[in-house]
Amino acid sequence: MLYKCPNCEKFRPDDGRKCPHCGADFRGSLRSGKHAVEPRELKAGLKQLQCEHGILRDRPCPKCGTSEQEAKENYETHILMHLKDLLIKLGLVKNAEAWDAAKSLRAQIDDSTENDH
C-alpha cells in the first residue's frame, strides 16, 4: 500500500523504510535539511496523460466535451498501466503489487484534486 510521507507529502510504499523522495523516516523525521524534488518521470508521464486543460484523460472535461463514460472507456486502463509502469520503474513497488498500487495512487490523485477545488 502507498501512504503520504509526513515530510514531503509525496506518496511512497508503506514498508517502514526511508522515503525514496526526501529520505525521511516513516515518521517524517529528517537528519539533514534536504528536500525532495518530484520525480521527473512521474511529472512528465502525467503531463502526457492530460488533456490541454490539465485534466487526466480518464476523467470528463467539459471544455473538451468528453463525457465521463467516454473518458473511462478510452483512457482508464491506459492511465493505470502507465502509473503501474512508473511505480515499478521508480522502484516504489514490486511487479506483483504494482497494479493495486496504481489503482490506489489513482484514487489518491482523485482525492487530492477534489480537495484542491
pLDDT beyond 70 at 111: yes
Residue 100: the pLDDT is: 93
C-alpha span between 26 and 47 (Å, rounded)? 29
The pLDDT-based confidence of 99 (bands split at 50, 70, 90) is very high
Percent of the chain with pLDDT over 70: 77
As a whole number, the mean pLDDT across the chain is 77
The pLDDT-based confidence of 35 (bands split at 50, 70, 90) is very low
pLDDT beyond 50 at 54: yes
Q: Which of 51, 48, 44, 49 is nearest to 89 (CA)?
A: 44
